[in-house]
Structure 1
Amino acid sequence: MDALVIGAGPAGLMAAEALMAPGRRVVVAEAMPTPARKFLMAGKSGLNLTKAEPLPEFARGIAGGTGGCLPPDPRGYLWTAAGEFGPEAVRDWAEGLGIALFTGSTGRVFPVGMKASPLLRAWLARLRAGGVELRSCWRWVGMEGGWAFETPDGPRRVRPRVTVLALGGASWPRLGSDGAWVPMLAGAGVAVAPFRPANMGFRVEWSPPMARVFGAAVKGVAIRAGRSLSRGEWVVTAQGIEGGGVYAVAAEMRDGAEAVVDLAPDLDPDALSMRFAQLRGRLSLGNWLRRALSDPVKVALLLEWGRPLPSDPAGWAARAKALPLRHAGPMGLARAISSAGGIETGALTADLELRARPGVFAAGEMLDWEAPTGGYLLTTCLATGRRAGEAAARRLADQDAVTAL
């Protein structure tokens, strides 16, 4: 076997694509019965492949947990031996698979059909045509004396010339990314930063009246946390708050930044104060606030998080413009869209090769980085997969050149 890729998610499949070549035997081992389960799950509500924005701006959305970009390459995770693999490259790649794309009003790029399954089918067909073998239900269990697997046919051990690891992080474990690889790599001398949830919701201990708005979308507000600002929608649930508008500021909130909600981001304090100056008369407090805010969900949040309640229009306006977002901490890894933590930058070369294990490369959410949703996560997984696969392919070519001498 020339090359082994462990993990058949986006990063692993992209590594296999970079490795395949005529006469070269490439095997992808996947622990689950079918490949790319998390990729397919993400595509159920519309597969957001990437975001149409210039590479420098796009790259600023990607944070490295242990130093950011991988030295000595200042261009970071989105750069491969063949050049950048950012938004434009992802679009070209998908269209090369026959997938028509469109760009939404926010710059997010989707397949015209929205689903992930047509792209995955076309991708797997390309890999099969290139000679890549997919072995399902192969769970990696050890690396001494070769790569050991538990398989439907019993224990197996293989000794490839190069290996790419693309086992994912620790979010959505039921789809295969369970972090079970951490003890094995740590035992082999690879530094691994602890996993933390990323792009996750937050737990809130609601008062009983909030049950009236469980399941309701929060629209037309802004959340500020640290240096981050989000104007996306989010949802009030029985457990807390979730959704894209929360995920965009989740990393800052998780790391201790206080968050405030602006319930009327398009109004200045004076204009909002004038709304609260309307005579209440015989209206209940809730109905009076609905006249000012025009949204029962905003009213519910103001009454929940705004106590002690103000007593004058300017006070109501100030509270609505900077409403403390009171939460009880992030939801756990099992419910997070992605994870922070993983193989530390210092444990890798610029080619994503493990310093402790020459000939072994790593990609995707195994690496210690995080990014918001909106195309950043998937694009970076694809880019790191290609980067690791290209580096492994160069290693094979160098070995072949030496053998030919």
Structure 2
Amino acid sequence: MVDQGQQAKSCEALVVGAGPAGLMAAEAMARAGLRVLIVDAMPSPARKFLMAGKSGLNLTKDEPLEDFLRAFHPLQPALRMALQDFGPDAVKDFAIRLGQQVFTGSTGRVFPLVMKGSPLLRGWLARLDGLGVTLRTRWHWTGWQGEALLFDTPQGPQALTPAVTVLACGGASWARLGSDGGWADFIPDTAPFAPANMGLNVLWSGHMAPHFGTPIKGAALHAGDQISRGEWVISARGIEGGGIYPLSRPLREEAPLMVDFFPDLAVEDLRQRLARPRGKSSLANHLRKTIGLAPAAIALVQEFARPLPDDLAPLLKALPIHHAGPRPLDEAISVAGGLRFDALDDDLMLRVRPGTFAAGEMLDWEAPTGGYLLTGCFATGLRAGQSAAVYYAKQLANARGAG
């Protein structure tokens, strides 16, 4: 709490959070001529962005827009409009304008040629500096006092009364990188956080230990009406990796998880192959020789389906994976839940706080990894920043007219 005698400092445009959404909002407002201040709780900006870049920085997914939009849930009108204005093609152009050439992989995922995030971030921060944007770090937002936003800073408590504000505070995973969800304590219109793009806990028996760290490739995972054919990994804690992440929502809703080891093969075709004479071979060798089932996959079959039935074909097409629920929220790559869209107008402005906008992972949407998350943050940040600039211009015009 700021002392009653301490006067709040005014500023034109404030961005709370220096991740991709906040930086995009700051650039939009600066290009509209506003003097922009960005504040962030961490010692340096965009820490989660840089962490994502260590594995290649998947910027977006190169696919038709309607296919791209289907990856987002819930696809509220404000989110749809943001993504239509700044979709995959715009993200590629954005990276190129920052001096980062991009390439599209075989699955449609788009990466910078350097396969990391730090060069793009350095170029972006330099461009913002050239636009007159100011960045302050170690500023921790603690809520509002009337119209003022309150902060704990290295210089002591601070209070700011900006003409327009964009909140881009992140979700509630990876708290060590700045996204701790603490802002939800003073924004009531928030849906509960839940893990998204998360791994699953599995209580393995001892015989699975030799397979920890082994990827499962070529299989299809099913949960509810969702199917994922991405690679996933058997870990000491359970199941992790890109193949499981797209199923986060049905798994949170307790849909059963099944694995089809042969998604391109019909049950009867599989049954015919398994019917070849086994001779003196062990079952594991027979499965390996006749259908090419990998040792880790054989171990999963034995883990979840013993005693094995005589007819293995249906089981190999729909092996139930018994798990103990999601890994903890703070380990998830992203979160579901957050600031509800019904608390915002189509310009991403808080209905109860005119002049305050919100963007990025703090909003109540989710999408799988594969470029969707970053594009969603870029797009909503841009829309919030542009909307804030328009709002500021209108307020300024109205004030001049009244004068």
Q: When the two structures are superposed, what TM-score results if normalisation uses the length of structure 2?
A: 0.94
**Paired residues of 2:102 and 2:113 also in contact (CA < 8 A):** yes
2-side partners of 1:184 and 1:62: how far apart?
26
Q: Which runs of 4+ in 1 moved over 2 A?
A: 21-24, 73-77, 278-294, 402-405
Please state if 1:41 is matched with 2:48. Answer: no
- Deviation (angstroms), 1:293: 4.0
Instruction: Please list every run of 5 or more consecutive structure 2 residues that lacks an aligned counterpart in the other structure.
Output: 1-10
Match of 1:270 in 2: 268
**Paired residues of 1:22 and 1:130 also in contact (CA < 8 A):** no
Aligned partner (choices 390, 393, 396) of residue 389 of structure 2: 393
Please give the secondary structure, in 1, of the residue aligned with 2:218: coil
Please state if 1:218 is matched with 2:216. Answer: yes
1-side partners of 2:72 and 2:172: how far apart?
18
Match of 1:12 in 2: 22
Q: 1:400 to 1:328 in 2, by over 3 A?
A: same
> What one-letter code is carried by the residue in structure 1 that aligns with 2:399?
T
1:171-202 Cα deviation digits (max 9, x unpaired):
1111100000001112xxxx110000000011
Match of 2:83 in 1: 78
Summarize the alignment of residues 238-387 of structure 1 with structure 2, pairs less than 5 Å apart.
Answer: 238-294=236-292, 295-311=294-310, 315-387=311-383
Instruction: Please list every run of 5 or more consecutive structure 1 residues that lacks an aligned counterpart in the other structure.
Output: none
1:39-58 Cα deviation digits (max 9, x unpaired):
00011010000011111111
Match of 1:24 in 2: 34
Please give the secondary structure, in 2, of the residue aligned with 1:235: strand
Aligned partner (choices 157, 169, 172) of residue 171 of structure 2: 169
Aligned partner (choices 176, 192, 195) of residue 193 of structure 2: 195
1:110-145 Cα deviation digits (max 9, x unpaired):
000110001000100110000000001000012114
Match of 1:97 in 2: 98
**Paired residues of 2:26 and 2:36 also in contact (CA < 8 A):** yes
1:183-237 Cα deviation digits (max 9, x unpaired):
1112xxxx11000000001100111100010000111111111111111100000
- Deviation (angstroms), 1:404: 3.3
> What one-letter code is carried by the residue in structure 1 that aligns with 2:129?
R
Please give the secondary structure, in 2, of the residue aligned with 1:141: strand
Match of 2:111 in 1: 110
**Paired residues of 1:10 and 1:385 also in contact (CA < 8 A):** yes
> What one-letter code is carried by the residue in structure 2 that aligns with 1:99?
Q
Q: 1:212 to 1:364 in 2, by over 3 A?
A: same
Summarize the alignment of residues 99-138 of structure 1 with structure 2, pairs less than 5 Å apart.
Answer: 99-138=100-139
- Deviation (angstroms), 1:309: 0.7
Q: State how many pairs are aligned.
A: 389
2-side partners of 1:163 and 1:345: how far apart?
17
**Paired residues of 2:231 and 2:242 also in contact (CA < 8 A):** yes
**Paired residues of 1:293 and 1:299 also in contact (CA < 8 A):** no
**Paired residues of 1:364 and 1:381 also in contact (CA < 8 A):** yes
Summarize the alignment of residues 134-173 of structure 1 with structure 2, pairs less than 5 Å apart.
Answer: 134-145=135-146, 146-173=148-175
- Deviation (angstroms), 1:74: 8.7
Please state if 1:58 is matched with 2:86. Answer: no
Q: 1:193 to 1:4 in 2, by over 3 A?
A: same
CA RMSD of aligned residues (A): 1.4
Residue range with higher mean Cα deviation, 375-384 or 395-404: 395-404
2-side partners of 1:289 and 1:301: how far apart?
13
1-side partners of 2:137 and 2:206: how far apart?
47
1-side partners of 2:339 and 2:290: how far apart?
50
1-side partners of 2:30 and 2:79: how far apart?
28
Match of 2:5 in 1: none
Residue range with higher mean Cα deviation, 394-403 or 273-282: 273-282
Percent of aligned pairs with the same residue? 57
> What one-letter code is carried by the residue in structure 1 that aligns with 2:355?
G
**Paired residues of 1:55 and 1:86 also in contact (CA < 8 A):** yes
Residue range with higher mean Cα deviation, 247-256 or 375-384: 247-256
Match of 2:7 in 1: none
- Deviation (angstroms), 1:401: 1.7
